[in-house]
Structure 1
């Protein structure tokens, strides 16, 4: 076997061909199952898509590179379950384009972050991380207090609907109103976003100021939604421990 490999190394084109063959086999093994993803990943009945405000916050999360230090994938290991909660299910990311599971953790995993801390905590943490965690190495994001650019909210929902995310015409048509309504709990817009996305969504002034719609509102709304779009993972963990 070693002699064969040695002889192959002396033939550059042969070595390239062998590499291509091995890489192709690995690629097929990884890619082929994706063609049956709709049959292998069962979406829970209670699964909901992100609201327009949460989706805008997700875009900010990606823009600021938060995914580089925080994963959104709890592994099925005892220490992970003890720290973060139920392990992640593929169905929980069925509507994510792109998915943000990740594998590197400079900071903690965020898959179950939703409603773990208050909105005020998140605002303070994002503006000055060391004000709440003195040893934090996370950078500060004070510019998130600026107004949210809402120009592409409806277009984003339209694009995601084409990829299979269940945004209907009413959701797309009311995307801007729903983004504003979710951060203004005492308005008619709040009732509209609840009608379209469910009574369980968080409707409040996430940055503490309902008079403005800011990037902070959007990002905190997104962070508070993580792990709350379906109860499937908690139900599965309960079944596994019985």
Structure 2
């Protein structure tokens, strides 16, 4: 075998053709499934979009490197399903750019975290994780409660998401900053617009416990509370999710 390889190395054209052949096999294995993706990815008619506040929270989640310790992918293994809930479906990351599945778990998987704990729990946990989980090695993120959330560029963020296939409307983009403030201040006029554009089931409340300010803590908690709740597809029978 090695003798054949040595002889092939002396023939540049043959070696190039062999490399192309091997690379083509790998390419076909990766590309071919894409032609049947419509048959393998579930449909979720109830799928809703991230609100501007939740998208801002997702950006903060990525900025702070939370994905380096927490996956958002429950595998089909029995122990994972029993611990975290229904295994993750591809459709649940339909509007995630970039997707945050992963497999690194210094901390627990967060795919089904939404509404598992109260907003107050999340705020305390983010300010000092040891206050609620004594053995935690997670860093503290207390400054998020002090940082005002920048909203002036949220429309641009939504527009960028639309460029990669997320169906944000012109009205959503134009009202992104107002909707972000309205979602965290239920008594403000902007709160009605959030429900109108993103659905009545959208969570509108004071996430960080301080209604007078819109902070990065508001944004991150709103994102954590929607994880696993953009669609109910994972909680339905597999056949129903595919229909």
TM over 0.5: yes
- Is residue 9–residue 15 contact of structure 1 (8 Å, CA) maintained in 2? no
Cα distance in 2 for residues equivalent to 1:75 and 1:9: 44
Q: CA deviation at 1:149?
A: 1.4
1:33-64 Cα shifts (integer Å, max 9, x gaps): 34654564343110001000000000000011
Question: TM-score by structure 1 length?
Answer: 0.89
Cα distance in 2 for residues equivalent to 1:84 and 1:139: 23
Partner of 1:76: 76
Partner of 1:62: 62
Q: 1:151 to 1:24 in 2, by over 3 A?
A: farther
1:120-159, aligned counterparts within 5 Å? 120-145=120-145, 146-159=147-160
Question: TM-score by structure 2 length?
Answer: 0.89
Cα distance in 2 for residues equivalent to 1:102 and 1:165: 22
1:13-162, aligned counterparts within 5 Å? 18=18, 21-34=21-34, 37=37, 40-145=40-145, 146-162=147-163
CA RMSD of aligned residues (A): 2.3
Cα distance in 1 for residues equivalent to 2:74 and 2:124: 26
Q: CA deviation at 1:7?
A: 4.2
Partner of 2:5: 8
Q: CA deviation at 1:161?
A: 1.1
Cα distance in 2 for residues equivalent to 1:85 and 1:236: 14
Q: 1:82 to 1:212 in 2, by over 3 A?
A: same
Single out whichever of 37-46 and 219-228 deviates more from structure 2: 37-46
Cα distance in 1 for residues equivalent to 2:18 and 2:140: 48
Instruction: Give the secondary-structure state (helix, strand or coil) at the position aligned to 1:137.
Output: coil
- Is residue 110–residue 226 contact of structure 1 (8 Å, CA) maintained in 2? yes
Cα distance in 2 for residues equivalent to 1:216 and 1:57: 8
Q: 1:155 to 1:72 in 2, by over 3 A?
A: same
- Is residue 88–residue 111 contact of structure 2 (8 Å, CA) maintained in 1? yes
Partner of 1:177: 178
- Is residue 42–residue 89 contact of structure 2 (8 Å, CA) maintained in 1? no
Q: How many residues align?
A: 237
Q: 1:129 to 1:162 in 2, by over 3 A?
A: same
Cα distance in 1 for residues equivalent to 2:43 and 2:225: 21
Cα distance in 2 for residues equivalent to 1:75 and 1:217: 30
Cα distance in 2 for residues equivalent to 1:200 and 1:17: 57
Instruction: Give the secondary-structure state (helix, strand or coil) at the position aligned to 1:225.
Output: coil
Partner of 2:188: 187
- Is residue 86–residue 237 contact of structure 1 (8 Å, CA) maintained in 2? no
Q: 1:23 to 1:30 in 2, by over 3 A?
A: same
Q: CA deviation at 1:17?
A: 6.6
- Is residue 126–residue 140 contact of structure 2 (8 Å, CA) maintained in 1? yes
